[in-house]
Structure 1
Amino acid sequence: MASVSIVPLGLEEARRVLAQTPLPSDNWAPGYPFADELDVLPLFIDAFERNGNPAPFGLYAVVRSDDGAYIGGIGFFGPPEDGVAELGFGLIEGARGHGFAAEALASAIRIALDNGATSVVADALVDNPASHRTMLTAGMVETRRDDRLVYFATR
């Protein structure tokens, strides 16, 4: 059975991840951080510096329970708007296919709903069926699609 937790990233930790300079005490799996995570970290850091800690609608590391290794990230694109919280997620290549992403996504959905969101949405490229399965497994449903993206939401 897959087992992960999600741990909120603080400002200094986010800076280390972006710089890819772990402390000796950081337990990063090979391949962490992955490219997509590096793309969102500057936005997170900037928003954190301007507006303070966005918790609980910030970024989280996905941490594998059996060894405590950071294997990916999941995060919100800000607080809910009209009750809707949007998020994105991803794992390092070596952690995919084990159910970790669906478990992390379900945890993030619970956090959002427990903190005032009425719905959680996410999307994935049309040619990314693994992400589609992850969102369905986490309890989301497909709401629409276009030429590029498939959109999902909680029920």
Structure 2
Amino acid sequence: MTETKIIETDRLVLHPLSFGDAQRIVDARPAAGERWAAEYPGIGDTASARAFLAGIAERGDPGIYRPYAIRLRAEDLVIGGIGFHRPPGPDGVVTIGYGLVPAFRGQGYATESLHGLIGRAREAGATAVRGDANLDNVASQRVMERAGMAYEGEDETVRNYRIVFPRAATP
């Protein structure tokens, strides 16, 4: 399994949450010296942190398949979160979610962070990454498309996306 470590992109640092980090998000209390953007954590960040804490209690540490804080590299400012809902199932497929505080949307940060997370899943041996967005959330649908995820279909509430990693040829 790939080591749990920071994911770096051109403008961002995706910091893997620890148990303590997740608890601070639930409590809306940053660590000493940590800078959070206004409106962080959002409802999704808090829900993700709670699910992560529950998952640790039920299944243990998920390794790389955890939530990550999205930080602006230059400002060292947390502007949102991205992560895996849980480790992949037997089919190797993992589900992702993400969100940014409103002031930082529309600047390519979500796509950039999703590219980084998809790369980490591929390195770790996942066979595919999937995600979904509400039917009316066109911006999130475009984020997944720009990150290389293909539209898979929809139901009455969400559009589904997936990127499948090609299998290495066996000798």
TM-score of the aligned structures, taking structure 2 as reference length: 0.86
Q: Percent identity?
A: 34
The one-letter amino acid paired with 1:9 is: L
- 1:139 alignment partner, SS class: coil
Within a 5 Å distance, the mapping from 1:22-33 to structure 2 comes to: 22-33=30-41
- Which runs of 5 or more structure 2 residues have no equivalent in the other structure? 1-9, 165-171
Bigger Cα Rg: 2
The one-letter amino acid paired with 1:110 is: G
- Which runs of 5 or more structure 1 residues have no equivalent in the other structure? none
- 2:35 alignment partner, SS class: coil
Indicate conservation of the 8 Å contact 2:36/2:77, yes or no: yes
Alpha carbon RMSD of aligned pairs, Å?
A: 1.2
Correspondence 1:65 to 2:103: no
**CA distance in 2: counterparts of 1:57 and 1:95, whole angstroms:** 25
Within a 5 Å distance, the mapping from 1:50-89 to structure 2 comes to: 50-81=58-89, 82-89=91-98
The one-letter amino acid paired with 2:12 is: V
**CA distance in 2: counterparts of 1:46 and 1:57, whole angstroms:** 14
TM-score of the aligned structures, taking structure 1 as reference length: 0.94
Corresponding residue number in structure 2 for 1:137: 146
- 2:39 alignment partner, SS class: coil
Corresponding residue number in structure 1 for 2:119: 110
Q: Structure 1 residues 132 and 30 mapped into 2: Cα distance closer, same or farther (>3 Å)?
A: same
Corresponding residue number in structure 2 for 1:154: 163
Q: CA deviation at 1:23?
A: 2.5
Q: How many residues align?
A: 154
Q: After superposition, give the CA deviation of every residue in 1:6-29 in whole Å (9 maximum; x if it has no partner).
A: 110000011011100112311111
